[in-house]
Amino acid sequence: MKIAVCVKHVPTSENVQIDENNNLVRDTAESDTNPCDLNAMEFALQLKQQTEGTIDVYSMGPDIALASLKKCLAIGADQSYLISGRKFAGGDTLGTARVLAKAIEDNGPYDVIFTGSESSDGGTGQVGPMIAELLSMPDVSETVAIEAKDENTLEIRKNVGDGNLVLKVKTPVLVTVPFGCNEPTLPTLRTQRKANRAEIPVIDESMVDLDASIIGKPGALSIVTTVSSASAGRTAEALEGSFEEIAARIDELVEEGRA
Amino acid sequence: MGAIGIFAEIIDNTISNSLGSMVEFGLKVKEASGSELVLFAVGQDMKEKEAGLKAAGVDRLVLMDIPGVSYVQTDKLSCAVAELLDKVEFSTILVPASHTARSLFARVAMKKNIGMTADCTDLDTEIIDGKPVVHQIKPSFGAQIMVTCDVEGDSEIITMRTDDQVVPDLSGDPVIEYVEFSGADSAIEVVDFEKNDSVNSLHSAEVVVCAGRGAMDEERFDMVKKYAEKIGAVVAGSRPMADNGWIPFENQVGQSGTVIRPKVALTFGVSGAIQFTEGLKGNPLIIAVNSDEHAPIFGFADYAVIADMSEVLPELLK
Ligand SMILES: Cc1cc2nc3c(=O)[nH]c(=O)nc-3n(C[C@H](O)[C@H](O)[C@H](O)COP(=O)(O)OP(=O)(O)OC[C@H]3O[C@@H](n4cnc5c(N)ncnc54)[C@H](O)[C@@H]3O)c2cc1C
Ligand SMILES: Cc1cc2nc3c(=O)[nH]c(=O)nc-3n(C[C@H](O)[C@H](O)[C@H](O)COP(=O)(O)OP(=O)(O)OC[C@H]3O[C@@H](n4cnc5c(N)ncnc54)[C@H](O)[C@@H]3O)c2cc1C
């Protein structure tokens, strides 16, 4: 099977400030692969092995996203692509999905596309299903197990809270994968070193044939207008006294609350 | 001016518990804008569900009956919802922020090029130039930052975080209408359901101890676990604790983890980000231990212990 995986490179620091123009200023000094995208990558590796398939990884973002693309190569992807250009920046989920879908379509067709459930920064979870819609394929969210039944049928287990639904799905399909549903493979020193030397092709604005008015900032329809601090101040009653007294009071409260 | 739409999700052929909360949000917008409030749903056996959807304050029910459809067939359902939207003009569409509804409406948003804002906790409606504008409020990353989003265009889709304990008042008398679905196939077939045999004890726990990044230390976490054992509590935690493998992911409390309803919750070294507090529902008694007197958790908890947990835990373990 021909498999694509979308991987977002996200800032890991939660140090966020608000500047004088009410913009979120994020400390981007530290960044890493969006956690659940590695769970998605893990299922891609399982399917690759099961079907003798190939994996292409896509990340849209600035050059720092190369780190995630190289990590994916080191754990078993065959090819990585960086999608990068100023016109792609500042988009909402509609614009982001359009660019990713177009790049994937141009290199396709793929049998299975994986995304994470949601990013740890924007966190909307909308990008995956939007890509599926653009590429006219079904999407399955909350995927916790996946297995190929034949060339064009997958058996997917979808978590629905109190259990899993077992689904039979015709390919092509887009699958979104939540954090924690499998143990991601990690690169070894050797595979990472090899991946670091890989040339990663860049898909730029000139290569993505989309009207500039429907992507990036001009295409964005859901727009953050204000940012505010929601600190409510302290409303809790402070427990005072010696630590012994505080501990005794906590014991009392727990017993009262439990009753 | 279009109507305000509320999507009533039908899960497993049953009306979702999010309905009560969704109607509250819809009524709030209706009150400020004066627009018509329309509840719409797609699913099977809709006739039987009418009574369960007649929420007070709703002006009109628009239903689409699709025999045999499952709520996970978002490919097919998105075609159905798109057809329904051709028949009813909505300016605002409110959708519960469940995995299936967000996937369904992300597809609809793309089909119709409608802006979509995710995971809102509140709405603020204002009349600008005679037209209602619904500001969408939601938490953002970082401890206590809220962002407000607006959607450009004639229509908007907003997913709302709901409190599924809110029971709808079903004494309404809305006009009921059916819209025909022209049909579409789904590539998804439901073949089986496997019930979890190991229910997460966190969901039934009366007392929960939540460890945060402040407890990310062998010695401190060890004391937290011992204390939980002493009082018969289940250990849960914040996202950093799950991300770093200190607790299993199933025991992460919050927006992207689990929602719990204990009677008592104690937090140790949790700052109180809204994505965490979203997971503590049902109004439990909350005791927070944090060394920072300005920690946002103290705006959420009932009792504050402003101290280093390394000083408090040994006393609690005595
Ligand atoms: C605080 C905040 C709130 C926002 N709210 C909204 C909103 O409500 N509506 C809206 O339309 N936009 C919103 N945005 C903008 C949105 O975050 C961006 O459009 C972003 O590029 C994609 O959305 P996401 O991070 O939510 O992705 P998600 O949909 O959460 O991502 C799901 C998966 O899609 C894949 N993916 C996503 N982005 C990329 C990428 N760049 N490269 C490769 N794979 C990727 C990954 O596999 C990821 O796991 C918001 C941004 C911020 C900062
Ligand atoms: C889309 C999205 C979804 C998210 N989902 C979730 C979620 O489901 N669950 C979740 O928890 N988070 C979630 N988050 C992350 C959330 O924003 C916070 O970053 C996170 O909750 C912080 O965890 P924390 O309180 O453990 O850590 P921190 O914010 O780092 O707080 C640690 C606290 O410990 C205190 N402390 C340190 N040492 C001690 C000591 N010795 N004694 C006492 N106190 C001490 C500090 O004063 C501080 O207040 C999400 C974020 C996003 C963007």
Give tens-digit pLDDT for A121-161: 889 999 999 999 999 999 999 999 999 999 999 999 999 98
The domain of B234 spans 198-317
Nearest protein CA to atom 48 of ligand 2, as residue? B271
- If one compares A201 and B200, the residue with the highest pLDDT of the two is A201
pLDDT mean over B248-265: 90
Query: E strands of B259-302, at which residues?
Result: 264-268, 285-290
Helical ranges in chain B per DSSP H = 19-33, 46-53, 74-87, 99-112, 201-204, 218-231, 239-243, 274-277, 309-317
Nearest protein CA to atom 19 of ligand 1, as residue? A92
Q: Tell me, what's the pLDDT at A29?
A: 67
Q: Work out the mean pLDDT of chain A and round it to a whole number.
A: 92
Q: DSSP label at B90?
A: E
Is residue B13 located within the same domain as residue B162?
yes
As a whole number of Å, the end-to-end CA separation of chain A is: 57
pLDDT band at residue B206, thresholds of 50, 70 and 90?
very high
pLDDT mean over A160-187: 94
Residue B258 within any structural domain of the chain = yes
Residue B106: which CATH number?
3.40.50.620
Report the alpha-carbon distance of residue B158 to residue B123 in Å, rounded: 10
Report the alpha-carbon distance of residue B15 to residue B171 in Å, rounded: 16
Non-local (6+) Cβ contacts of A135 within 8 A are A101, A104, A105, A108, A113, A172, A174
Is residue B223 located within the same domain as residue B302?
yes
Structural domain total, chain B:
2
Is residue B104 located within the same domain as residue B206?
no
Query: Is the CB of residue B191 less than 8 Å from the CB of residue A158?
Result: no
Secondary structure (DSSP) of A6-30: E--EEE----EEE-TTS-EEE--SS
- The answer to whether the CB of B290 is under 6 A from ligand 2 is yes
Residue A230 within any structural domain of the chain = no
The domain of A97 spans 2-214
Residue A233 within any structural domain of the chain = no
Is residue B170 located within the same domain as residue B218?
no
pLDDT in tens, B32-45: 999 999 999 999 99
Non-local (6+) Cβ contacts of A187 within 8 A are A71, A74, A75, A195
Residue B193 within any structural domain of the chain = no
Residue B223 within any structural domain of the chain = yes
Report the alpha-carbon distance of residue B79 to residue A49 in Å, rounded: 35
Residue A256 within any structural domain of the chain = no
Give the Å distance between the CA of B86 and the centre of ligand 1. 28
- Pairing between strand A54-60 and A2-6? parallel
Q: What angle do CA B12, B158, B1 make, to 5 degrees?
A: 115
**Backbone angles phi and psi of A17, in degrees to 5:** -125, 165
Helical ranges in A90-199 per DSSP H = 93-107, 127-134, 189-196
Secondary structure (DSSP) of B193-238: EEE-SS--HHHH-SEEEEE-GGG-SHHHHHHHHHHHHHHT-EEEE-
* CA A161 to the chain's CA centroid: 21
pTM for the predicted model, two decimal places:
0.89
Residue B188 within any structural domain of the chain = no
Residue A222 within any structural domain of the chain = no
Is residue B269 located within the same domain as residue B167?
no
Is residue B161 located within the same domain as residue B45?
yes
pLDDT in tens, A7-43: 999 987 666 666 666 566 666 668 899 999 999 999 9
Is residue B91 located within the same domain as residue B221?
no
Residue B186 within any structural domain of the chain = no
CB contact under 8 A, B299 and A163: no
Reply yes or no: is the peptide bond before residue B296 cis, omega within 30 of 0. no
Is residue B28 located within the same domain as residue B158?
yes
**CB proximity A126 to B under 8 Å:** yes
Residue A203 within any structural domain of the chain = yes
**Backbone angles phi and psi of A66, in degrees to 5:** -55, -30
Give the Å distance between the CA of B25 and the centre of ligand 2. 28
Distances (CA, A) of B106 to A50, A195, B182: 31, 35, 21
Per-window interface: B 58-77 vs A, CB < 8 A: 72-75
pLDDT in tens, B78-109: 999 999 999 999 999 999 999 999 999 999 99
Report the alpha-carbon distance of residue A51 to residue A155 in Å, rounded: 13
For residue A113, the cross-strand partners are: A4, A174
Q: Tell me, what's the pLDDT at A26?
A: 62
Report the alpha-carbon distance of residue B249 to residue B238 in Å, rounded: 10
Q: Tell me, what's the pLDDT at B257?
A: 86
pLDDT in tens, B168-189: 999 999 999 999 999 899 999 9
Residue B101 within any structural domain of the chain = yes
Which has the closest alpha carbon to B38: B136, B159, B176?
A: B176
Structural domain total, chain A:
1
Residue B263: which CATH number?
3.40.50.1220
Report the alpha-carbon distance of residue A60 to residue A58 in Å, rounded: 7
Query: Is the CB of residue A27 less than 8 Å from the CB of residue A112?
Result: no
Report the alpha-carbon distance of residue B6 to residue B112 in Å, rounded: 17
pLDDT mean over B60-72: 97
Is residue B161 located within the same domain as residue B236?
no
pLDDT in tens, B126-157: 999 888 999 999 987 655 678 899 999 999 99
Give the Å distance between the CA of A218 and the centre of ligand 1. 16
Non-local (6+) Cβ contacts of A158 within 8 A are A140, A141, A142, A143, A144, A164, A165, A167, B72
Is residue B171 located within the same domain as residue B206?
no
Q: Tell me, what's the pLDDT at B140?
A: 79
**CB proximity B128 to A under 8 Å:** no
Q: Work out the mean pLDDT of chain B and round it to a whole number.
A: 94
**CB proximity B1 to A under 8 Å:** no
CB contact under 8 A, A236 and B302: yes
| Whether the predicted pLDDT of A83 surpasses 60 | yes
Residue A181 within any structural domain of the chain = yes
Q: Tell me, what's the pLDDT at B282?
A: 83
Q: Tell me, what's the pLDDT at B313?
A: 97
Is residue B255 located within the same domain as residue B154?
no
Report the side by side order of strands in the sheet with B207-211: A237-238, B303-306, B285-290, B264-268, B207-211, B234-237
pLDDT band at residue A231, thresholds of 50, 70 and 90?
low
On the CB side of A84, CA atoms within 13 Å amount to 14
Report the alpha-carbon distance of residue A173 to residue A154 in Å, rounded: 9
Report the alpha-carbon distance of residue B99 to residue B103 in Å, rounded: 6
Helical ranges in A108-215 per DSSP H = 127-134, 189-196
Query: Is the CB of residue B132 less than 8 Å from the CB of residue B64?
Result: no
pLDDT band at residue A229, thresholds of 50, 70 and 90?
confident
* A254: closest chain B residue by CA: B264
Residue B185 within any structural domain of the chain = no
Non-local (6+) Cβ contacts of A61 within 8 A are A8, A9, A82, A83, A84
Is residue B129 located within the same domain as residue B248?
no
Non-local (6+) Cβ contacts of B127 within 8 A are B32, B33, B133
Distances (CA, A) of B84 to A116, B9, B92: 30, 14, 14
pLDDT mean over A164-168: 97
What is the share, in percent, of chain B residues with pLDDT greater than 90?
Answer: 81
For residue A9, the cross-strand partners are: A33
Q: E strand or H helix at A217, and its extent?
A: helix A216-219
Which of A4-13, A98-107, B240-249, B293-302 shows the highest mean pLDDT?
A: A98-107
Residue B187 within any structural domain of the chain = no
Report the alpha-carbon distance of residue B174 to residue B59 in Å, rounded: 5
Structure-token pair, residue A72:
């994916």
pLDDT band at residue A162, thresholds of 50, 70 and 90?
confident
| Whether the predicted pLDDT of A230 surpasses 70 | no
Residue A150: which CATH number?
3.40.50.620
* A10: closest chain B residue by CA: B141
